[in-house]
């Protein structure tokens, strides 16, 4: 992902599996950028490091639409992780339920 100053936000989490294994997860959402190619649009990327090596590019007609769609899809990705393991906010130690994730990212 681009430099840290190009981020909308970054969130440090810990995934605690059924066996108690703890794995760090770092969520990063980039600032929307306008693209002329391959077609005029806005792109917002996000990553969920520690869960997937994939960078998710999300496209929209406006910057706000691209960011909103990225956050919606990110919420679904994190909800999927939370349904299989416990997610803990790294800084506070708060356990994040699927409802908390839904309330936190929208």
Give the count of domains, the chain.
1
State the pTM of this model: 0.85
> What would the pLDDT profile of 8-60 be if each residue is shown by its tens digit?
999 999 999 999 999 999 999 999 999 998 889 999 999 999 999 899 999 99
- Give the structural domain span for 98: 4-104
Long-range contact pairs involving 6-14 (C-beta distance under 8 Å, separation at least 24): 6/30, 6/31, 7/31, 8/44, 8/67, 11/89, 12/89, 12/90, 12/91, 13/87, 13/88, 13/89, 13/90, 13/96, 14/87, 14/88, 14/90
């Amino acid at each position: 992902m681009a430099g840290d100053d190009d981020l909308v936000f970054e969130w440090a989490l810990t995934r605690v599996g059924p066996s108690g294994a703890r794995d760090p997860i770092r969520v990063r959402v980039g600032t929307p950028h306008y693209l002329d190619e391959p077609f005029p649009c806005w792109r917002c990327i996000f990553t969920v490091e520690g869960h997937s090596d994939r960078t998710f590019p999300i496209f929209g007609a406006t910057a706000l639409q691209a960011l909103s769609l990225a956050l919606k899809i990110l919420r679904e990705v994190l909800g999927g992780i939370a349904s299989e393991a416990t997610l803990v906010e790294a800084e506070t130690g708060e356990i994040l339920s699927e409802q908390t994730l839904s309330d936190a990212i929208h």
